[in-house]
Structure 1
Amino acid sequence: MRKWSMQELGRKSIADFKEAPKTPLVVVLDNIRSMHNVGSVFRTADSFLVEKMYLCGYTPQPPHRDINKTALGATETVAWEYTATTVEAVQILQAQGFKVYAVEQAEGAIYLDQFDPLAIHSSTDQGLSGAPKIAIVMGNEVEGVADEVLDICDGCIEIPQLGSKHSLNISVAAGIIIWAITERIVLK
């Protein structure tokens, strides 16, 4: 076995990335403290051609060397926007026809292994590609998704955990969720 070379990987240029069809998924960061977490989520969003990211509240924004350290250039490829509050971002997305899900351990949450975006969305919730328009809200490292945001989300997705901590780093949780949704709506 041998590793693929950079040329064999077929990496997209910034221009090619911007022109490529996107996964109809938006990632909303709710008051994330760590620039490394923000950069890591940008990098994951780039990996799966996520449509856009919203950076909300005091979530750090590019350009910043600590974000770039983990993003490895993904802040140049992934579209992003800042809003003063996460509530504002959720309302914008809902007005555009997105179903918005908080990623949180909460009463009534759907376990990720049971979350089927194709089965739970009607045709009016779908983008031009026929895939559902979904946004996920990733919460603060300590407090999680803010209560006022949970109150207006269309649902909640929980990552089942088997250990004693029942806590994942936000960048790890984002990677799990983004992969699962991409796999279910794009790679099906």
Structure 2
Amino acid sequence: MVQKLKLEELNRIDVETFKKVEKIPLIVILDNLRSMHNVGATFRTADAFLVQEIILCGITPRPPHREIHKAALGATESVDWSYESDINTAIRDLKSRGFEIIGIEQTTGSRMITDFTIDTAKKYAVILGNEVEGISDEALPNIDSFIEIPQLGTKHSLNVSVCGGIVMWEFASALK
């Protein structure tokens, strides 16, 4: 008979160990998100896939906050994060450190994530945009590539944290 594992049987690392473990060369940028739930869920997923860092930009809510914590379940303590008011400043800094900047956005130049080759020799930063407006218009010219997730139904977008989870999994699968 199949039984669910108890928490202590999952052999998860603690926060101190997490801080020391080698991360995948991926940074997630949250550009003007409104929802604290989306921010918290992104932290939790970043923890699950050993993402290097999250950069919160613009109006994106920042920890500590009760509503972020409800979805993050402590991942704001394990995942490194920083705040930058201007997304283009964050992009310039990351490019100077050798990161390729990937916008997760439906654009005239975007490719399906299934057609994007993740190069294990590169470092990446992916940008997730606002729940309604997407990535800030002023950031678009500074982004190296755009990818989107194939969708087959009637809706034209996914929830930001769901989209982020799919993207982080794709990068983690290729970069681990």
**TM-score where L is the length of structure 1:** 0.91
Q: Match of 2:81, as an amino acid?
A: W
How many residues align? The count is 175
Aligned-pair identity in percent equals 49
Cα distance in 1, alignment partners of residues 151 and 137 from structure 2: 22
Shift of 1:131: 3.8
Paired residue secondary structure (2:88): helix
1:181 equivalenced with 2:171 (yes/no): yes
| Equivalent of 2:143 in 138, 147, 153 | 153
Paired residue secondary structure (2:41): helix
Cα distance in 1, alignment partners of residues 123 and 5 from structure 2: 33
Cα distance in 2, alignment partners of residues 35 and 100 from structure 1: 24
- Gaps (5+ residues) in structure 1? 119-129
Q: Deviations over 1:61-91 (max 9, x none)?
A: 0000000010000000000000011111111
Q: Match of 1:139, as an amino acid?
A: G
Query: Residue 104 of structure 1 corresponds to which residue in structure 2?
Result: 105
Paired residue secondary structure (1:151): helix
Cα distance in 2, alignment partners of residues 134 and 8 from structure 1: 33
Paired residue secondary structure (1:165): coil
Query: Residue 53 of structure 1 corresponds to which residue in structure 2?
Result: 54
Q: Match of 1:170, as an amino acid?
A: V
- Gaps (5+ residues) in structure 2? none
Shift of 1:34: 0.6
Query: Residue 117 of structure 1 corresponds to which residue in structure 2?
Result: 118
Shift of 1:116: 1.1
Q: Match of 1:85, as an amino acid?
A: D
Query: Residue 69 of structure 2 corresponds to which residue in structure 1?
Result: 68
Query: Residue 166 of structure 1 corresponds to which residue in structure 2?
Result: 156
Cα distance in 2, alignment partners of residues 185 and 131 from structure 1: 9
1:28 equivalenced with 2:49 (yes/no): no
| Contact 1:24/1:131 (8 A) holds in 2 | no
